[in-house]
Chains A and B, each alone.
Chain A
């Protein structure tokens, strides 16, 4: 009698198309019945998961072509949860077999996660491991089109595979949308853990972002200066005066002259005869924003040297590639952890695993002054000479103070200070003139992976194993802001050119952008498949590039939070990225001993035309691959004159 009623109810539900209700009902039934026979259940459970998943898998792989990729999305969460269910119920052996049998399906997309999850061997591990907890506590949301969803429901109903039904009901939320299935490329976004990443990202990325450049920056003033000097033919001596005048009247005519300035600049560049620049390569003038931090003023002589550099800048584009000067570290005995190059290329610093920091002055080594060696540097060299007379034998200045491997070094904009971060949880500030330690900043509780001076100096940002990034000012020993939110180590940090934001890359495979004023997360970028190792933000502040452990380079649009073009750029870790000064080229350096130059302009243009479609159709175009002689590339840096400096340690192995 009861059965008949049940049948009638099912028939009714089916007739009306209440599929979810039907599934729910079935599940309830199974739960009731399984409670009754819980003893027999536990034994056959493992097999049920195995069979059920196997069937679901073969069904999904044999489904209609146009819906297959959507249905395949369901497999991964089901796989993970089947495995965890088995572990939770104590079927260790079965869980292992299950995992090994089906893992290769997902290896391509989720290798890192699989490697982590593989270690789960007891229910207690499920509690302990963060990733597992994340999976257990949150539902997965999958976007499916109407028909794919119907197919899936039909299948589940037909096969009566209760184990699968249970898993899907319990852990997956379907977001059904009408119409045709979406293209394959959206795969990464279609599956997401609720409440963790994607939703959050969407929410965060709706905030307003002022990605424009700082108003009243040196460069802007330079443009004005040039326009002025163009009109009046003022010679070099008087330029400083005109600058000062300009400073006062900037605000008034800023916007009206913006377009005008560009033309003037072009003209001047053409006159200096450096390179021919195509008009089209110039991106439209970025908007100007006010600084949120009180920024230091540059001393006049420094400003003048910058102006000098800007005037002599080589214009780079896809046709005019930069010259690359490579600094090779020899005899490092595998001890070099990081390196950095000052803006003018005259100073090179390396951080070593024996806790030392070494600075080489390239001018002193007998290198005749490079094209970009400004006069400002000579003064500091003199001072160093007299002080370091006792160390005359050594070609470098040795800075000792840390008590653990040094993981990053960073020069201040004018190379008068050096920051170093170490595994002893401290960051130290060194003076390159005095060759002495000035301050030790304590605040992080774990090794500090990265430290970066702001583009204007005075402030710096750090990234640490304690999952926070911190903002500091050189004159305070406590951090000004703590940016918490990453789910794993913060591995790298980078300043936005306007100093209002810092970007951080993390082992949780995301990149975040933080507002320095509020300390809130302003953008969340999801898409990398492994640990993010390097970041760079374009000089106009609109784009950000990030490189990861697998050699993938992604380009992001900061304003929309979308990925512009992911590429497999290298075959190994991307240690460093750098934009050229006009933002036309991106240089990447990797552990595969290559420096690669990428064309940004073309992909940006494609982005502009495609803006409405929002598809990541364009790809970065590789302009040039420059192999080194078994020297992994640790650091890349464009000088203000667009000379590219690179550094790396010769690896003795090959």
Chain B
């Protein structure tokens, strides 16, 4: 009933030498004890208020006891508010951490330093209603000046409005400096440790890192240009960029212009890391993703961000003098920006580019194996870009993803098969004359069928995007007698372990697909776009279905 339990009364009674207090007395005392406690607290709060404090101290309780003519409780006075600790296992039980002090210890200890004497300093809190930005005033923005605690500098007190005009020195706190140094050290030295992962997490989550952003952006730019052939460091740097970008507390916009060149460098540099041993493709892919995410997030703020970016990339893509690695990066970057970019910028140039790329991919024409591999890579990325673009287009017309009947499938298969001889890769780009008929054949089934569940669309066409890629890598490894096999095609193997006979056909099919894209180009140029889309849609669509039939 009372917040003072009767057990407490009993304990106190025992402690003052009343061993057997009757429970009735304890029960009667408990409410009164609570009442007196409240009374004393009320008085103590008054004393606290008149000492202009908001924290109750032992002194206040003593003064309150004095007011009531009660002997104060000695031994608890302290100039600072007492620090209570929560008793473990109890929700609202607190105790004072009161250490036992040895007398000898106290005597032997050197005299404590005399406390500083009270002093008064003045400053301008406001001048004609405006707060001057001097250390004595609290900072207005989030950037916190180092907490120097004491305003001992009397000279500064004279800082009149003239001081305001001076640029405010940007001071980095010691903690932030240490943080920055640590991160830098991690990036350059120990990027593979779990600690670095934690650091990335902290970069992505922590607030209060804003003062460091300019330093980071400078650091990244500096290190990227210096470590172009050190892939782990580049990777670490890119991951730092990604973390910074994802930190919700950082306004990174003002520093984007400093960061972008470094990222683009990682994307389209001629040489990134050791060309042979390192998997520089991965960092290009990673950089392309970062670029795309930047464009998505800040594209609306900086109108020319995406246009400038695409301009840079398309330049890299269309310049035949640039290395294939650069082409690859450009294609990846462009395709990461979305299918519409691909459609507008890559597809129109695809035909000419294929003419350029084709000889590079041929065993007989390009003797340098490395170069050839690069070419295949580029080819793969083009395929991927085109595929995703196509898929995107198709998604716009879900009604058109209609299931062909079994029969048309078969006929179509036949067509594909019959087309196979014509479509030797060598000649594929030149055989434009053959394409109108194929297209016609392709268009036919569309007219006839119309009940394919549209949900199947994504799965099939995505496989159309990815599978051919693998086929080609397969193909290339087949073609190359000295296959290094370092191009991973495990997925393709899992999907397509179905005999070597089918293999060849699939290669052919992918050729058809490629043709289809070329047709898309043609269609884009020649026919009205909608009609063209029909054609291409069916082509890519039927093909995996057919493959499905195979398997």
Contacts and interface: CB of A to CB of B under 8 A. Distances in A.
A binds B: yes
Interface of A: 92-93, 96, 116, 118-122, 124-125, 320-338, 348, 350, 352-353, 358, 360, 362, 365-368, 394-396, 405, 407, 423, 446-447, 449, 465, 489, 491, 507, 531, 533, 549, 572-573, 575, 591, 595, 597, 623-624, 626-630, 632, 634, 646-647, 649-650, 652-653
A324 B46 contact: no
A449 B49 CA distance: 10
B126 A627 contact: no
B122 A624 contact: no
A331 B117 contact: yes
A549 B49 contact: yes
B526 interface: no
Interface string B25-53: 00000011011001100100011011111
Given A334-B57, A405-B63, A626 B126 contact: yes
B120 A327 contact: yes
Nearest to A576: B52
A328 B125 CA distance: 10
B67 A446 contact: yes
Given A358-B118, A629-B138, A531 B49 contact: yes
B167 interface: no
Contacts of A118: 38
B171 interface: no
A646 B125 contact: yes
A273 B152 CA distance: 37
B59 interface: yes
A575 B52 contact: yes
Given A119-B39, A327-B120, A337 B52 contact: yes
A591 B52 contact: yes
A362 B158 CA distance: 13
A330 B126 contact: no
B116 interface: yes
B49 A533 contact: yes
Contact of B118 (A332, A449, A549, A630): A332
Contacts of A649: 52
Interface stretch (B127-135, B208-216, B284-292, B402-410): B127-135
Contacts of B137: 627-629
B53, B59, B115, B130: most-surrounded residue (chain A CB, <10 A) = B53
Contacts of A628: 125, 137-138
Contacts of B51: 337, 353, 405, 407
A446 B64 CA distance: 11
A637 B34 CA distance: 43
B120 A334 contact: no
B151 interface: yes
B150 interface: yes
Contacts of A335: 79, 118
B284 to A, nearest CB: 50
A336 B34 contact: no
A591 B51 CA distance: 12
11 contacts: A125-B31, A323-B129, A324-B127, A325-B123, A362-B120, A394-B117, A405-B59, A491-B46, A572-B54, A632-B52, A646-B125
B125 A626 contact: yes
Interface in B127-161: 127-131, 136-138, 149-152, 154, 157-158
A323 B123 contact: no
Given A122-B32, A549-B49, A328 B57 contact: no
A367 B50 contact: no
A326 B49 contact: no
A653 B55 CA distance: 11
Contact of A322 (B66, B120, B129): B129
A96 B312 CA distance: 77
What are the 7 closest A-B residue pairs judged by CB atoms, nearest first?
A321-B129, A121-B31, A119-B38, A326-B125, A324-B125, A331-B116, A324-B126
Contact of B59 (A96, A353, A533): A353
Contact of B158 (A92, A327, A368, A549): A368
A306 B213 CA distance: 56
Contact of B128 (A96, A322, A366, A629): A322
Contact of B124 (A119, A323, A338, A395): A323
B131 A634 contact: no
Contact of B136 (A96, A122, A629): A629
Nearest to A408: B50
B223 to A, nearest CB: 38
A323 B53 contact: no
A331 B124 contact: no
Nearest to A421: B50
A573 B118 contact: no
Given A121-B34, A628-B138, A449 B50 contact: yes
A116 B124 CA distance: 43
Interface of B: 1-2, 31-32, 34-35, 38-39, 42, 46-47, 49-54, 57, 59, 63, 66-67, 79-81, 115-131, 136-138, 149-152, 154, 157-158
A458 to B, nearest CB: 26
A447 B67 contact: yes
B122 A119 contact: no
Contacts of B42: 116
B1, B51, B138: most-surrounded residue (chain A CB, <10 A) = B51
Contacts of A591: 52, 54
A564 B434 CA distance: 93
Given A321-B126, A334-B80, A423-B66, 16 more contacts: A119-B38, A321-B128, A323-B128, A328-B120, A328-B122, A330-B151, A333-B115, A350-B118, A353-B59, A358-B118, A423-B47, A447-B47, A549-B49, A572-B54, A624-B129, A628-B137
Nearest to A649: B52
A623 B50 contact: no
A325 to B, nearest CB: 6
Contacts of A652: 149
Contacts of A92: 1-2, 31
A367 B34 contact: no
B45 to A, nearest CB: 9
Given A330-B151, A333-B79, A121 B1 contact: yes
A328 B151 contact: yes
B143 to A, nearest CB: 15
B157 A465 contact: no
A93 B1 contact: yes
A92 B31 CA distance: 9
Nearest to B59: A353
B52 A338 contact: yes
Contacts of B116: 330-331
A653 B54 CA distance: 12
Contacts of B34: 119, 121
A333 B125 CA distance: 23
Contacts of B136: 326, 328, 629
A330 B152 CA distance: 9
Nearest to A448: B50
A629 B148 CA distance: 11
Contact of A366 (B49, B59, B115, B154): B154
Given A323-B127, A330-B121, A627 B49 contact: no
A446 B118 CA distance: 29
Contacts of A326: 122-125, 136
A320 B35 CA distance: 53
B225 to A, nearest CB: 42
A533 B52 CA distance: 10
A5 B119 CA distance: 86
Nearest to B136: A629
Contact of A367 (B46, B81, B157): B157
Contacts of B123: 325-326, 328
A489 B154 CA distance: 41
A595 B38 CA distance: 33
A328 B138 contact: no
Contacts of A653: 81
A330 B150 contact: yes
Contacts of A446: 67
A121 B120 contact: no
